[in-house]
Amino acid sequence: MQQYKNKGHVITFVKLSANMKADFAANVSHELRSPITQIRLKGEALQLGLTTDEEDLRRHYDAIVHESERLSRLVDNVLDFAAIERGAKRYQMRQEDLRLLVATTGEAMRAPLAARGLALDLDIPEDLPQVEVDREAVKQVLINLLSNAAKYGAEGKWVGLRMRLALDSIDISVSDRGIGISKSDQARIFEEFYRSSDTNVRRKKGTGIGLSIVRYIINAHGGSLSVDSEPGQGATFTVTLPLGPNAPASE
Ligand code: ADP
């Protein structure tokens, strides 16, 4: 009986993960479609000379750039997720000026956030010690958290990106004033493929891998990741990166 029950659990698990993978493939295709369509439509309009006035042309060029950036972010996430799954992901750790990295990534996201009606509030202290990190990986963490804030926090029209120096770490938090996350979802959102069943979430496109990549990267850096949220009140994700043994002591 016990054995049978165990087998049942195994089968259920395998089925669940096969369903989740099928959903994932469908979600990726779905998410690819929208930027590709936008780029094609805008490109065709330009090609046919349908847009002539200065402002309209600018809108078309901007849309093509933003939609291709969105496409790149999605493809980067899928490729990274596959590499992580294969155990092939390697990070190049170097002493970096994290302050500069966070500021430039935040600034690069300002236009795509503004395009969705969100103001970005950067709160970054002047003096911070260098930290040993993989630049591209930390950039991806920030982009994933900021993209989620844009997606699920759109109605709040505000995104906060804040850095703080703690005793033996640097904390980076991304906040929004959007739909928020229930306690039961908070326990699961870092799992791969997991998406809340909330209709407010299902209305938005997504693949359910963004936060699992964030979690993996932060673990690989010896850091930690937490979420603080009340449904309807927005969410704050905080990444804690340890200061290396060579980091200068804080004043
Ligand atoms: P995706 O956004 O593609 O669904 P993620 O792994 O990035 O996948 O996020 C997993 C889930 O966590 C989302 O589906 C959503 O339920 C929840 N979530 C993530 N960020 C936020 C946020 N800022 N506000 C509300 N819910 C969020």
How far the first Cα of the chain sits from its last, in Å, is 64
Place of tokens 């970096």: 96
Please state the pTM of the whole predicted model: 0.89
pLDDT mean over 93-99:
96
Query: How many other C-beta atoms are found inside a 10 Å radius of the C-beta of residue 114?
Result: 12
Q: 3-state DSSP call for residue 169?
A: strand
List, for residues 116-173, the tens digit of each pLDDT value. 899 999 999 998 999 999 999 999 999 999 999 999 999 999 999 999 999 999 999 9
Distance 194 CA to ligand 1 centre (A): 8
Q: What is the average pLDDT value for the chain, to the nearest integer?
A: 90
Distance 49 CA to ligand 1 centre (A): 40
Q: Which residues pair with 239 in a beta bridge?
A: 172, 225
Closest CA to 159 of 87, 199, 109: 109
Percent of the chain surpassing pLDDT 90? 81
For a substitution probing ligand 1, which of 29, 189, 218, 226 has the most ligand atoms within 8 Å of its CB?
A: 189
115, HSE (Cβ side, Cα atoms, 13 Å): 17
Residues flanking ligand 1, CB < 6 Å: 148-149, 152-153, 176, 178-181, 185, 189, 194-196, 201, 206-212, 235
List, for residues 215-230, the tens digit of each pLDDT value. 999 999 999 999 999 9
List, for residues 199-209, the tens digit of each pLDDT value. 999 999 899 99
